[in-house]
Amino acid sequence: MNMSETAATPDASTPAGMLEVDLVRQARHGDLAAYDELVKRYQERIYATIYHMTANHEDANDLAQDSFIKAFQALKSFRGGSSFYTWLYRIAVNKTINFLKQRRNKHHFSLNDLDYNTEHNPDLVALISHKTPLREAGLTELQKKLNEALMKLSEPHRMVVVLHDVQGQSHEDIAEIMDCNIGTVRSRLFYARQQLQGYLSEYAKST
Amino acid sequence: MNQTEQSFDELKRLLKLKQHEVPPPGYFNNFSDQVVSRIRAGEAGGKQTYVERLEVEAPWLVGFLRIFEARPGLIGGLATGLCLLLVVAVVLDERSEVASKSLLTVSQPVVAAPDNSVAALTQSTLVAAADPGSGIVAATNPVTSLQPVATLRPARCFSRSASRRSVINSINFRFCAVCA
């Protein structure tokens, strides 16, 4: 077996090539290599969700790490009724909401630069050059407005918007993650969008 | 529904831009290592704190307690409520005691003997005690009028227990053989 073959088909005996179910089973028995692989698979999505909720990279980093550690400690109580991914999300969401409740009155942003691709995103270019009266508004300004508008929403409403409109999760998954029914998810999403539409009326005009 | 979805199209496109807010390249290279190191450090350190264990074992309880942490006014209100409840309970208890004592005063023609044993108690003394002209002032004696009879008589005198209620009902009790 040469190196290229190894790279093309991951070995099922290594954590990288294992199914999630097997990784979870091994991690439950204390296998940290298996858990390391689980962290790698979900770190970006968990981090992004927390970041969009907190608008702060340091907080997002701490909370994401705490969520993974807590999930490892609680793995024995994971019954497998839902997917590991949903279960992990639920831990992260609860941790984030608790954190936000504690620092409710301390709104502070750490606005990081947008990545290079953003400047060439066709949606954004169209938005700034044609749709808005503030053509000269920069990306940073837009990002700031967007974050400020999101921060005005309550935590459950913000979470639904982040999970659905930013991360593209389904209503069913969100209901499971947030431990509520789909009707609640839909109504929260509708209300949150209405609110955002009002806050971002200069940028997001309804058709 | 489609109309409402369409009305949010522009907003959804705007929100999609949030996907580009990512940490710098290489940020996640060591992320999982840090997590695993912290787990190892926690295991090496041995014990979790009580709160950490509680977070894992009873997250609902921690969530409940955090409600109070986030809203200090709520815990104040709860504490005030509990105090009020305690005061009401004490007042009600006092009232019931006063009521039972007044019953005692009316129905207690007991005359205490100097040696603190129970004096003769017959139907005739009861009648005499009720009569102000009889010379027996049972109701004005603080000991006999306010204290339950149970405190004055030896427990062995009566066959029933010496509870207050039993004293009220025991006005027609006969003496036991020892006292007689």
- 8 Å CB contact between A47 and A63: no
In a domain, A73, yes or no: yes
C-alpha span between A107 and A184 (Å, rounded): 27
In a domain, A143, yes or no: no
In a domain, A11, yes or no: yes
Q: Is the pLDDT of residue B177 over 90?
A: no
- State residue B45's pLDDT score: 59
In a domain, A7, yes or no: yes
Task: Say which residue, B172 or B33, is predicted with more confidence.
Answer: B33
pLDDT in tens, B32-62: 999 999 998 887 655 566 776 677 677 778 7
Structure tokens at A107: 């709104």
Number of domains composing chain A: 2
Cβ contacts of A74 within 8 Å, gap of 6 or more = A91, B56
pLDDT in tens, B51-103: 766 776 777 787 777 777 777 788 888 899 999 999 999 999 988 888 777 76
In a domain, A30, yes or no: yes
C-alpha span between A176 and A182 (Å, rounded): 9
Task: Say which residue, B154 or A161, is predicted with more confidence.
Answer: A161
Q: What is the mean pLDDT of residues A178-195?
A: 93
In a domain, A133, yes or no: no
CA-CA-CA-CA torsion sign (B25, B29, B32, B33): negative
Asked if A9 and A102 sit in the same domain, the reply is yes
Residue ending a domain, among A80, A108, A136, is A108
Q: Which of A112, A121, A161 sits opposite B15 (nearest CB)?
A: A161
Q: Is the pLDDT of residue A71 over 90?
A: yes
Q: What is the mean pLDDT of residues A2-22?
A: 64
Asked if A174 and A85 sit in the same domain, the reply is no
Chain A residue closest in CA terms to B38: A69
Q: Which of A114, A131, A204 sits opposite B20 (nearest CB)?
A: A114
Does A48 reach chain B within 8 Å, measured CB to CB? Answer: yes
In a domain, A116, yes or no: no
Most confident of B2-16, B41-55, B161-175: B2-16
In a domain, A39, yes or no: yes
Domain extent for A166:
153-200
Asked if A71 and A15 sit in the same domain, the reply is yes
- 8 Å CB contact between A165 and B15: yes
Asked if A86 and A164 sit in the same domain, the reply is no
In 3D space, the residue among B150, B135, B40, B45 whose CA is nearest the CA of residue B104 turns out to be B150
Asked if A158 and A72 sit in the same domain, the reply is no
At A73, which CATH number? 1.10.1740.10
- 8 Å CB contact between A192 and A160: yes
- 8 Å CB contact between B38 and A67: no
Q: What is the mean pLDDT of residues A146-159?
A: 91
